Structure 1
Amino acid sequence: MSEQHEASLAVQIDALLPQTQCRKCGYQGCRPYAQAIANGEADINQCPPGGDQGVRLLADFLNVPAKPLNPAFGMTQPLQVAVIDEANCIGCTKCLPPCPTDAILGASKQMHTVIATLCTGCELCIAPCPVNCISMIPANAQWTAANAEQSRQRHQAKNRRQAKAEAEKSERLNRQKQLLAKLNKGKNRCLSQDWQ
């Protein structure tokens, strides 16, 4: 299978995934999982948020037999959203980086809150919280194709922003190294002249 065909197949598989970006499948998000399926490295039954219905969609699309969701990756449950106990939030910001859709608002030493309509229910914000002030509650809603598309777009935007920030940081470090090398070269030249 050509790389171009695999990439196209991964895009089509990704479009069938729920876009919760929860990593329960064992990959860093829905797109990497889709790529792994396209490459034959992952099975179609590793997505708990997609559940048996998601497995059937993938099976139909790939023309392979459907199978039950693999419980090793978790169980399907109704959509939940994160809620922060704002009275106990210390504003540490540790919940911000793992949120795949920037659904958490807050600043250092300030109270944080979750924008429920943007929360995918991924649970990635829970473990980093040092004061255990984040919990999951029922969303009282169904995850729709519109939610999935919004989540995909927000996740991609966050990835682009992080990549840009990393590139800028790397460029700054390279400029600092070049400047330091230039300064050291000048210093060594002065020292060698002093010894003469």
Structure 2
Amino acid sequence: MQEFLIATLTLVTIAFVCGSLLGFASVKFKVEGNPIVDQINDILPQTQCGQCGHPGCKPYAEAIAAGEAINRCPPGGEAGIKALAELLDMEVVELDESCGEESLPRVAVIREDECIGCTKCIQACPVDAIVGAAKLMHTVIASECTGCDLCVPPCPVDCIDMPIIETTSQDWRWPDPKTVSDPQVIPVKVVT
């Protein structure tokens, strides 16, 4: 019984010492991120489309923090530019048309009966929203698709459509106050 107590106390002591060392190391060697990059990244739409010339939203956020233009994100559009300008205390500028044009939200839809299973769309998708296997039909997980349109050009049989997502009463959301700089007053009819 005494040997059991000694072994247990030894293990508890070792665990306490190791835990204390790990806790000290996590505080001492903590890597600090740039908080402005995180704030910029929160405003960006997270489509990871690359239309801005960067491989994703986080690298573009880092570039903006380093001084790059805030108007190179078509999916973020005018609302995104206004939110970035407000955050960075800059002047609002027009969207850079060389990056693309702002459009309504879209989602990829594969016409499965025409799909040949080449996997080129799977390789092009930056968010892994397309599932399938070689020589088998593919499909899009609509809830994961960001509508970046990167899967359309590589498709050799042109079987991918990008329809506009219609807002319904089931998926309507209040606008994000961080991205709306000019709130509109909506008249409300009061029934008495």
TM-score normalized by structure 1? 0.67
Q: Which amino acid aligns with 2:87?
A: F
Compute the displacement of 1:124 (Å): 0.8
Equivalence for 2:45: 18
**Alignment gaps of 5+ in structure 2:** 1-30, 175-192
Q: After TM superposition, what 4+ stretches of structure 1 lie above 2 angstroms from structure 2?
A: 4-8, 141-145
Q: Does the 8 Å contact 1:123/1:136 carry over to 2?
A: yes
Equivalence for 1:79: 105
Equivalence for 1:138: 164
CA distance in 1, matches of 2:113, 2:134: 15
Compute the displacement of 1:6 (Å): 7.3
User: Which aligned pairs between 1:1-196 and structure 2 lie closer than 5 A?
Assistant: 7-40=34-67, 42-141=68-167
CA distance in 1, matches of 2:100, 2:33: 27
Q: Does the 8 Å contact 1:79/1:143 carry over to 2?
A: no
Q: Deviations over 1:101-137 (max 9, x none)?
A: 2111101111101111111000111111111111211
Q: Which amino acid aligns with 1:37?
A: I
Q: Deviations over 1:151-170 (max 9, x none)?
A: xxxxxxxxxxxxxxxxxxxx
Compute the displacement of 1:144 (Å): 6.9
CA distance in 2, matches of 1:113, 1:85: 8
Report the 3-state secondary structure (helix = DSSP H, G, I; strand = E; otherwise coil) of the residue aligned with 1:26: coil
Larger-Rg structure = 2
Percent identical residues: 51
Q: Cα RMSD (Å) of the superposition?
A: 2.1
CA distance in 2, matches of 1:11, 1:25: 18
**Alignment gaps of 5+ in structure 1:** 146-196
Determine which structure has the larger helix proportion and give its number: 1
